[in-house]
Amino acid sequence: MTPVSSHSPHGQSTLRTVQVLGGGNAGSSAHVRSLAAGLVARGVRVTVCAPVDADRAYDFSGAGAEHVHVPRSSDPGSVAALRAVCTGADLVHAHGLHASFRAALALAGRRTPLIVTWHSHAHSEGARAHFLRMLERRVVRAATVVLGTTSDLVDRARKAGARDARLAAVALPGRRTPVEPDEADPVSPKVRAELGAVARPLLMAVGSLDPQRGYDVLLDAARAWRRLDPVPLVAIAGEGPLRPVLQRRIEDEELPVRLLGRRDDVGELLAAADLAVLPSHWESRSVLAQEALHARVPLVATSVGGIPELVGDAAELVPAGDAAAFAEAVVRLLDDPGRREQLQEKGLRQAATWPTEDETVAQVLSVYDELTQPRPLI
């Protein structure tokens, strides 16, 4: 029987895809949820293999996909379960390094096309860094196509030996309508009062408390802001292994920084801020950067990874690890309302260039078609 696309007009056989997710990355989980909903709406059968807690958080079943619990571990039982789910699939699409490695193991000896999306890349040192590079090479050489969400990830995949690596920027799921300049926000004063930033600037950071995020640099910069009048307050929404270390520094050095932990009102927090700050040592397609530009919140970020490509000239960019440069950029913006307004307008224009969820789904589906449609005989 000749294979055909699920969304061809005459009711031919349905394309069946398996999406494999490790469950550890919020950005990739949200993308898979959005992708699943878009594919199902176009008549594609979607099975999402992910830990059960990921389905509770992102409701893949509610998007119309079948959810199958597959734990994060790469033990033989996990791989065998994944291999069983992938039986009969037209293609398998894995997201993230560890999920992709398990998918490659599960598909060993089969001709099922494997698509891998790299949303980011893991940072580590020493022996673990060597191990992760080995995993990357194994994954990209097993993949039929590697999709990178930023150009530097595409380059990394090619250097690791990918046969076919392409840029596939993903949309910000559930992206809101950009805030209008004269639009009043009754929530922001309450948020600022809750945080203790009624009569002082509020700087907002969002992200897990881990070494990649560069919060050590942010705390170094916060020391310089203590001399300002009024002293800006830095609020960090997120949780992670560095919390005790960061909290100890904040208390010992009396820094104007608050750790908010996990929050489900990040949009409201960001809308209440005077500036968004992103001090990361590496980022791919930062959700915070996208949210900030959509919300018309001026952004100070490090010029790393996919950030320059993502924001263009719509943010103040500084070198990674340079606390003095980061502190100075923030002070300049706080003192220059004209520059802040300019960045707000540039941010809206830059955000308009990013793909929508529909465009993201359409691009992925075109890759699926390419890999499953029969080639004409010459």
Closest CA to 201 of 226, 250, 234: 234
Q: Which two tokens stand for residue 298?
A: 């001026």
pLDDT at 176: 52
pLDDT, tens digit (0-9, with 9 covering 90-100), for 263-311: 989 999 999 999 999 999 999 889 999 999 999 999 999 999 999 999 9
Element (H, E) at 30: helix 26-41
Instruction: Convert 37-63 to b/e letters by CB count within 10 Å (16 or more is b).
Output: bbbbeeebbbbbbbbeebbeebebeeb
Q: Classify burial at 293, counting beta carbons within 10 Å of its beta carbon; exposed 0-12, middle 13-18, buried 19 or more.
A: buried
HSE of 372 in the Cβ direction (CA atoms, 13 Å)? Answer: 28
- Confirm if 102 and 20 have CB atoms less than 8 A apart: yes
Closest CA to 274 of 204, 211, 217, 223: 204
pLDDT at 373: 83
The structural domains of the chain, with segments of one domain joined by +, span 16-171+356-372, 188-351
- Strands (E) across the chain are located at 16-21, 45-50, 66-69, 91-95, 114-118, 145-148, 165-167, 202-206, 233-237, 257-261, 275-278, 299-302, 316-318
Which strands form 16-21's sheet, in the order they lie side by side?
66-69, 45-50, 16-21, 91-95, 114-118, 145-148, 165-167
- Confirm if 2 and 374 have CB atoms less than 8 A apart: yes
Q: Which two tokens stand for residue 138?
A: 């194994």
pLDDT in tens, the chain (378 residues): 333 444 444 344 689 999 999 866 677 899 999 999 999 999 999 999 998 888 998 999 999 999 999 887 766 778 999 999 999 999 999 999 989 999 999 999 999 999 999 988 766 677 877 888 898 999 999 999 999 999 999 999 999 999 999 999 889 876 555 555 555 566 789 999 999 999 999 999 999 999 999 999 999 999 999 999 999 999 999 999 999 999 999 999 999 999 999 998 999 999 999 999 999 999 988 999 999 999 999 999 999 999 999 999 999 999 999 999 999 999 999 999 999 999 999 999 999 999 999 999 999 999 999 999 875 555
Distance separating alpha carbons of residues 373 and 370, to the nearest angstrom: 6
pLDDT at 78: 85
pLDDT at 284: 87
Q: Which fold has domain 188-351?
A: Rossmann fold (3.40.50)
Query: What number of helices (H) and strands (E) belong to the chain?
Result: 15, 13
DSSP 8-state code for residue 228: S
pLDDT, tens digit (0-9, with 9 covering 90-100), for 89-120: 999 999 999 899 999 999 999 999 999 999 88
Query: What's the gap between Cα 118 and its chain centre?
Result: 10
CATH pick for 16-171+356-372 out of 3.30.70.1280, 3.40.50.2000, 3.10.129.10, 3.10.20.30:
3.40.50.2000
Q: How many residues does this entry show for the chain?
A: 378
pLDDT at 10: 37
Topology match between the domains 16-171+356-372 and 188-351: yes
- Confirm if 178 and 294 have CB atoms less than 8 A apart: yes
Distance separating alpha carbons of residues 304 and 279, to the nearest angstrom: 9
Distance separating alpha carbons of residues 356 and 107, to the nearest angstrom: 31
Which residues, 6+ apart, have CB-to-CB distance to 371 below 8 Å? 91, 113, 115, 144, 145
